[in-house]
Amino acid sequence: MGALSWLNKLNVFWSCAGLFLVVMILSLFATSHRDPHWVFTNYQNRTGFDNPYYVFILGMVGATYTLFGKFAGPLVTDYKAIDSSNDWYSLGAECSASMSEETENADITSPMAMVTSITTAWFFGLIYLLVLLFSIQDMESVLTTTFNLPVTQVFMARRGWNTIDDCILNPDDSVPVLLWDNVAYSVFKVDRTHPTHRSSRGGGIPYHQALQRLNTQQIPGNAVIATCIITCCIVLPYPLSDLFFEIIISAATITVYVTYAVVLGCKYFVGIGKGRFHLGPLSKPITIIGFIWSLFAVIAFTFPTCWPIDLVNANYAGPALCVVILLSYAVASSSSPTTTLH
């Protein structure tokens, strides 16, 4: 447990230090910087759609995506092509919520941590995006890069490198980014273990008896291992098929926002008594905005993002979600108690 505590402190430190180093590297070593007029007003539509309102909706989809670069790359505005700060908003808030059971005075400290995580992540994410935008050397090379992560192209153009090996072999660039990425992945893995363990204790997932078991150190080791295995199974198709990977991520993203919509809808329409920590008169407007945004995200994420549509750029999020719903219904129906009516 002492090692885990030390690792957690290291994660917190490097999350801040890594961002600071990345910002400094991009700011100090860029051969040139974009002017503010270009950063805040430049607009490019490469979707193939002419309707500006539809294109605007596609641009908003980038703010709902859980992975950066893949889906948002060909979308509307320049910043969408390199938007990687969206993870910070949801991940920070969800990590705080997941730790409620282990927190003293959770009805106060947990919501405070959630609000603080969202505001802090928004602030630092905005700084990160602005630095990336000001550091872009050639927008065309970023949008047409052969790398799956357009952000990599920004780093490489900053130093005049042509291959990914040049970036990896230079520790001043690769080490901060790799450490930062691994820290974020570790935090994410711990965060995903919590709902697995909670669901297993309630019998809501298969093999719940094994997954809820604690080891000698009072850690749900089976839940941790199962979470890692499932994550690897999801990531493994990525090198083999981008299309298959995007189908999985699309369905997962929509499912997340469906969950948000259900919770916020219950909060607004059913009503839940206020706890010791609440947002006062802002509580209801924020709930309404969050509910509408969640519904918008679920609907907008099923729209096609490029024209003309083919097998490669088609959006399979809708069909994938239907498959998930049908499979969930089949599993629930087969395991639910039944009663014979006479």
Nearest C-alpha neighbor of 31 from the set 158, 162, 210: 158
Whether residues 169 and 261 share a domain: the answer is: no
Whether residues 89 and 157 share a domain: the answer is: yes
Whether residues 124 and 262 share a domain: the answer is: no
pLDDT by residue (tens digit) across 160-193?
665 555 555 555 556 666 666 666 666 666 667 7
d(CA 202, CA 37): 54
Whether residues 11 and 144 share a domain: the answer is: yes
Query: Is 220 a member of any domain?
Result: no
Banded model confidence at residue 4, pLDDT cuts 50, 70, 90? low
pLDDT of residue 226: 85
Distances (CA, A) of 308 to 50, 76, 199, 301, 305: 12, 16, 43, 18, 9
| Pair of tokens at residue 38 | 């270009």
More confidently predicted of 68 and 95 = 95
The total number of residues written for the chain in this structure? 342
pLDDT by residue (tens digit) across 215-242?
887 778 888 888 888 877 777 776 666 6
| Pair of tokens at residue 98 | 């997941």
Q: What is the DSSP string of 121-147?
A: HHHHHHHHHHHHHHH-S-HHHHHT-SS
Query: CB within 8 A of 103, min separation 6: which ones?
Result: 109, 110, 113
Distances (CA, A) of 16 to 122, 128, 179, 183, 274: 14, 12, 12, 11, 33
d(CA 221, CA 206): 16
Name the domain boundary from 163, 189, 207. Answer: 207
Query: Is 184 a member of any domain?
Result: yes
Q: How many domains does the chain have?
A: 2
Whether residues 81 and 165 share a domain: the answer is: yes
Whether residues 328 and 189 share a domain: the answer is: no
| Pair of tokens at residue 213 | 């078991």
Query: Is 60 a member of any domain?
Result: no
Nearest C-alpha neighbor of 162 from the set 149, 152, 148, 172: 152
d(CA 107, CA 104): 9
Mean pLDDT for the stretch of residues 39-61: 83
Whether residues 117 and 202 share a domain: the answer is: yes
**Residues paired with residue 43 on neighbouring β-strands, in sequence order:** 77
Helix (H, G, I), strand (E, B) or coil at 337: coil
Mean pLDDT for the stretch of residues 59-70: 57
How many helices (H) does the chain have, and how many strands (E)? 15, 0
Mean pLDDT for the stretch of residues 332-341: 59
Q: Lowest-pLDDT range, 32-41, 187-196, 271-280, 315-324?
A: 187-196
Instruction: Look at the block and give the residue holding tokens 């920070």.
Output: 92
pLDDT of residue 94: 63
Q: Which domain holds residue 327?
A: 241-342
Nearest C-alpha neighbor of 94 from the set 212, 193, 199: 193
Query: Is 22 a member of any domain?
Result: yes
Query: Is 54 a member of any domain?
Result: no
pTM of the model: 0.69
pLDDT of residue 337: 54
Name the domain boundary from 187, 207, 227. Answer: 207
Whether residues 109 and 250 share a domain: the answer is: no
Query: Is 275 a member of any domain?
Result: yes
Mean pLDDT for the stretch of residues 25-53: 81
Q: Taking CA 332 as the corner, what is the angle to CA 327 and CA 337, rounded to the nearest 5 degrees?
A: 155
* Torsional sign, CA 171, 173, 176, 180: negative
Query: Is 339 a member of any domain?
Result: yes
Does pLDDT of 130 surpass 70? yes
Residue 67: how many other CB atoms lie within 10 Å: 17
Distances (CA, A) of 275 to 42, 110, 119, 166, 293: 45, 12, 21, 54, 24
Whether residues 85 and 199 share a domain: the answer is: yes
Query: Is 195 a member of any domain?
Result: yes
